[in-house]
Copies of this chain bind each other. A is one copy, B any other.
Amino acid sequence: MPGVRSLNRHSPNTLMIRKLESIFKLTDGEKRVLQDLPVQVESLRAEQDIIRIGERASRSCLLLEGFTCVYKLTSEGKRQIMAVHVPGDMPDLQSLHLKVMDISIASIGPSVVGFIQHDDLREACEQYPRLTAALWRETLVDASIYRDWILNIGQRSAYPRVAHLLCELLIRLKAVGFAEDDSFHLPITQAELADAIGITPVHMNRVFQALRADELIEASRGKVAILDERRLREEGDFDPLYLHLINSVSA
């Protein structure tokens, strides 16, 4: 069972505040409300469900460390991962207005999340309408990423698809300071990546080998290094417009 612990460096909400601030300057009042939001921090093991499809949510979570993903199963038991979250993301913010979950959310690798009650969130938004706008915007960016995944899976072959996903992860991790030197820690199996890309684990492996052979990436035991980002973007037909990043150099 998940233990409760306190974060060492920052208050849990610091990540969220920093992220929202990249959109527009928050007033002191807005910052204070966010800072005072009660957050229940929990550590998760790898592959642990946070919430499952069909359940009703009364709180949303903020990812603090590690990774989470959105997934869904077909009736035949095939899994599709529709999104991967990096620290600072709110994986199930949508449940604020869509009570019953249409997806499941799980941790990838060991992670730390903070739960915020919907009532608290709603109250903060009522007090400071710009928070509503900022959170709404977050969900809109999520939607934009979904759209790009549809394009990626629907129109590109396996190799560029993987390249595209890696470009996205790199830029998003850079944006929150979790990728140094174009390399990042990603405790995800090839099988899971395959589920996100819509291909077979076997084929995922072959694509990875091709990417390594082409000297685009290095990958081993949870560590991914992008060797040539420019060329990887070309191969993956990657344009970061859809991420709607603001103060980003690489975007």
- Residues on A lying within 8 angstroms of B by beta carbon are 53-54, 70, 72, 74-76, 78-80, 82-83, 94, 97-98, 100, 102-103, 126, 129, 132-133, 136-137, 139-144, 146-151, 153-156, 197-198, 237, 241-242, 244
Contact = CB atoms under 8 A, between A and B. Distances in A.
B198 A98 contact: no
B97 A140 contact: yes
Interface majority SS on A: helix, strand, loop or mixed? helix
Contacts of A154: 80, 153, 197-198
B147 A147 contact: no
A144 B147 CA distance: 11
B155 A98 contact: no
A234 to B, nearest CB: 9
A94 B143 contact: yes
B136 A72 contact: no
Contacts of A150: 80, 82, 146, 149-150, 153, 198
B78 A155 contact: yes
B139 A82 contact: no
A24 B241 CA distance: 35
